[in-house]
Amino acid sequence: MPKADKPLPGLDYLLPRIRFSRILACASYAALLITLLIYNAFFAELHGANPIIIIGVQVVPLLIFLPGIVTGNPRVHAFLAFAINLYFIHGVLVCFQPGREGYGALLVAFSLLYFLAALGFVRWSFQAQRVRAGEI
């Protein structure tokens, strides 16, 4: 016997969660960008490498998603949630380098926070779309 679909929660339940998770996702996205920029511009030992190139390689992939993040597109948040896992992996690897543990911990924290907030935002946004479609 197939299970019946669970009823969707109402918009009064979904909208505050969508708003909070989007704010949290945007804040952690911005914090990750700022952390990458500040650390690589002022604190990283680049051993003669051009800091603009290093910053570009680390920041440009995140900036590709910026228009969709600003407009609040749930699909862009979902795609960035996959891409941001690379920054999580990079942060974990940096945590094992002496003297860079704090930087690595920030990368891990901000990428994990974005991932969790984006998952909530995407889920609740699509549920809200289904609720709205049923109200028409």
Q: What is the pLDDT of residue 124?
A: 96
Q: Establish if 10 belongs to a structural domain.
A: no
Which residue, 8, 12, 13, 24, is CA-closest to 118? Answer: 24
Q: What integer best gives the mean pLDDT of the chain?
A: 93
14 part of a folded domain? no
Measure the CA–CA gap between 105 and 75, rounded to whole angstroms: 27
Say if residues 76 and 69 touch (Cβ distance below 8 Å): yes
Our count of domains for the chain comes to 1
**Residue 125 domain-assigned?**
yes
User: Which of 12-26, 39-53, 59-73, 77-91 has the weakest average pLDDT?
Assistant: 39-53
Q: Mean pLDDT, to the nearest integer, of 26-52?
A: 92
| Of 122, 134, 131, the residue nearest 12 (C-alpha) | 131
Report yes or no on 114 lying in a domain.
yes
The predicted model gives 41-61 an average pLDDT of 90
Residue 71: domain span? 33-135
Residue 99 lies in a domain: yes
Tell whether 2 is covered by a domain: no
Taking the CA atoms of the chain, what radius of gyration do you get in angstroms?
A: 18
Q: 126 pLDDT exceeds 60?
A: yes
Task: Say what the pLDDT of residue 3 is.
Answer: 58
Does residue 25 sit within a domain?
Answer: no
Average pLDDT rounded to a whole number, residues 89-93: 97
15 in a structural domain: no
Q: Using pLDDT thresholds of 50, 70 and 90, give the confidence band for residue 2.
A: low
Say how far apart CA 136 and CA 131 lie, in whole Å: 9
> The pTM is what?
0.90
DSSP state of 99: T
